[in-house]
Chain A
Amino acid sequence: MMNNSIAMQTRRKARLRPQAIPAKVAVWTVMILFAIFSVIPMLWLVLAPSKTQRQLQQEFPLSFGSFQGYVDSWNNLMVFQDGRIVDWIINSIWYSAVQVSVASIVALLAGYALAATRIPLRRTLLITTLVAMIVPQVAFVLPLFVEITALGLYNTAWAIILPGTFFPFGVFLSYIYFTTTIPSELYDAAKIDGAGDWATFFRVAMPLSWGLVGMLAFFSFQVNWINFFLPYVVVTSGEVLTLPVGLGILFSSTPALSPQVGANVLPIRAPEIALAGMMIAIPILVVFVASARVLVRGVLAGSVKS
């Protein structure tokens, strides 16, 4: 109590010190400038499809065109291979939906098994999971290509979907959650009451874990939705591809970024390609902003006491 009031006094003094004011101004300036720099690229991306190519190059870069602009850009985008963009959107959505659900369920079960059952070799399995979690996904692309070709899955949707269900980070996150957030006495109590492992999992652990489910869905969506390298390597047919790879195809086969390509044939220029990019970026942005708090707890799982 005593300490607290002294601390408050010193803090108040610090606030009143005149030389502290320029420091405060400097701090805020740096922070606000960084915020502005962070927001401008996204703002541009969201505004660009509302304008025409001419407006984009001549008007103020962050001005708004018209809502009709979005419609026009969409219609132009639909010209590309008779509406291929729709395939990409649908694929991206259903691939991610399968990946997020399977990855989350599998991770929940495995994390619970490590945390609350008598699974043998627990330490080995945990270390293996940690290694798999730290090695970036990209490192697995070529080995996966070799396997997928051998399995005959090349150029199928499964070649993209299945590897995305492997989610070691999710297993670790679940393990941490089930060992720290839920007190182990709760599992013991359920077992004394005669509940088996499965009943404990479904009736005790799961109802307390919706926050965890949210975290798992967030992190697995985030990696799968934007994945480029693996889908690019294991699929060649346009109708099987996803939005991020489709965007790459738009780069190389439309005049949007490379005016030398088919400039007179396709109406796909900067506003159209920005619309395609916006459709990839906005879902990611929404999940990030919606789960800012979850993000911190998730990434530092196991080392920050909650």
Chain B
Amino acid sequence: MRLKAKTAARINGILMFLPYFVLLVMFAVIPIIMAFNVSIGPSRLSPGGGVGNYLFVLNDFRFLSALANVGLFLAIYLPAMLIVVAGLSLLLDTISSKYTVPLRLAYLVPAGITGSVAILVWYFMLEPSYSPFAPLLAEFGLTEGTDIFNTSNLIYIFALMAFFTGAGNWIVIQYGSLQSIPDEVLEAARVDGANAFQLAFQIKLPMIRKYLIYMLILVFAAGLQIFVEPFLISSSVYPGLAKDWSLNQLSYTLAFTGSNLGAATALSMMLMLVMVGLALIVIYRTDFFDEAVVKTEKERA
């Protein structure tokens, strides 16, 4: 009887999980396998198949420059996110939470400006003839659209867009984790004579460290995949300005204008490998998901 119930529970579990499992196989596992097969299959440039497509991408002159662009973009974007998000969430945490409500709502507003809308809005924000920030831009000697939209500024423009899209909601999220620090810990530190700075840097910051690392990894993964912003700028607003600027743009170009799907999938497989590696680091090398996974272990035992 009991055995029968256990089997039923197993079957029910499988049935409940099944719809998701089908989607997982259909839209994650199979596409990766198919793309991998294309990437090692024979193509125009590598008739023998194998690693030919991978070598082709790695030797393509556009690959290194795209990698450098994305690398520099991340080198600006990631530290800016870390400093501003940590800084502002700590500042928010110094005042009573009822006064922070309007500020937090304001910080969430730019989250609506993302993807193609981000290009639209930031085009107007940076174009001096339209921009509400025109006086500020003029302070920096930027009075013409072409002063701003040129190749040497692209990294800053994309970093600015990505930063504003994500910073606000991460501030709200990190503020949320600061609020979950037990009051006793903070009171104890205050009784010991810690001032606001010591409280922030020696107590609060270490306690939200893992959330900040989690944020950085997610932001890094998303940043490495940057596509929409350079693609739209370059395909419409300023034709050719950011052509093949990012790795995903290169992969797009290879697939759809160079009709070299083999090389395109090779590039996307290499990016996928980095992504899965990062994911495994988060899971096994940080303690972010420990609680969730440990819990299952206990239940099984």
Identify the A interface with B (CB < 8 A). Answer: 3-4, 6-7, 10-11, 14, 23, 27-28, 30-32, 34-36, 38-42, 44-45, 48, 56-57, 61-62, 105-107, 109-110, 112-114, 117-120, 122-123, 125-136, 138-147, 150, 162-163, 165-168, 171-172, 175-176, 179, 196-198, 201, 226-229, 233, 244-245, 247-248, 251-252, 257-258, 270, 273-274, 277, 280-282, 284-285, 288-289, 292, 295-297, 299-300, 302-305
Contact = CB atoms under 8 A, between A and B. Distances in A.
B120 A274 contact: yes
B27 A144 contact: yes
B12 A117 contact: yes
B116 A61 contact: no
Contacts of A257: 120, 123, 236-237
Contact of A41 (B110, B180, B239, B296): B110
Given A126-B293, A130-B283, A135-B221, A284 B227 contact: no
B276 interface: yes
A30 to B, nearest CB: 6
B225 interface: yes
Contacts of B239: 258
Interface string B168-204: 1100110111001000000100110000100000000
B64 interface: no
Given A118-B6, A168-B24, A197-B13, A147 B31 contact: yes
Given A119-B13, A302-B291, A304-B176, A284 B191 contact: no
A152 to B, nearest CB: 14
Contact of B291 (A118, A131, A280, A303): A303
A295 B31 CA distance: 30
A225 to B, nearest CB: 9
A103 B103 CA distance: 32
B30 to A, nearest CB: 6
12 contacts: A40-B125, A44-B125, A105-B19, A106-B20, A110-B20, A118-B9, A128-B24, A142-B35, A143-B268, A147-B34, A285-B109, A292-B104
Contacts of B10: 117-120
B67 interface: no
A273 B130 CA distance: 14
Contact of B211 (A130, A131, A303): A303
Contacts of A176: 292
A-B interface, 8 closest residue pairs, ranked by CB to CB distance from nearest: A117-B13, A296-B176, A119-B13, A143-B31, A252-B236, A285-B112, A110-B20, A143-B35
B16 A117 contact: yes
B107 A38 contact: yes
B48 interface: no
B133 A175 contact: no
Interface of B: 6, 8-10, 12-14, 16-17, 19-21, 23-24, 26-28, 30-32, 34-35, 38, 84, 88, 91-92, 94-95, 102-117, 119-125, 129-134, 164, 168-169, 172-173, 175-177, 180, 187, 190-191, 196, 210-211, 214, 217-218, 221-222, 225, 227-228, 232, 235-239, 248, 251-252, 255-256, 261, 264-265, 268, 271-272, 275-276, 278-280, 282-283, 288-289, 291-293, 295-297, 299-300
Nearest to B295: A179
B271 A35 contact: no
Nearest to A304: B180
A228 B115 contact: yes
A273 B23 CA distance: 36
B217 A175 contact: no
Contacts of B116: 226, 228, 244-245, 247-248, 251, 277, 280
A13 to B, nearest CB: 11
Nearest to B187: A7
A136 B107 contact: no
B129 A32 contact: no
B246 to A, nearest CB: 10
Contacts of B278: 134
Of A28, A143, A248, A304, the most chain B CB neighbours within 10 A belong to: A143
A292 B105 contact: yes
A146 B112 contact: no
Contacts of B19: 105-106, 109-110
Contacts of B217: 134
Contacts of B169: 288, 295
Contact of B12 (A30, A107, A120, A198): A198
Given A44-B124, A143-B268, A34 B88 contact: yes
Contacts of B196: 14, 23
A163 B120 contact: no
A300 B173 contact: yes
Contacts of A226: 114-117
Give the most central of B6, B125, B221, B296: most A CB within 10 Å.
B296
Contacts of A112: 16
Contact of B268 (A139, A247, A303): A139
A145 to B, nearest CB: 7
Given A113-B17, A244-B115, A289-B108, 18 more contacts: A3-B191, A35-B106, A38-B164, A106-B19, A110-B20, A131-B283, A135-B275, A138-B227, A140-B32, A142-B251, A142-B265, A143-B272, A168-B24, A168-B28, A171-B20, A179-B295, A227-B115, A247-B120
Contact of B296 (A122, A136, A198): A122
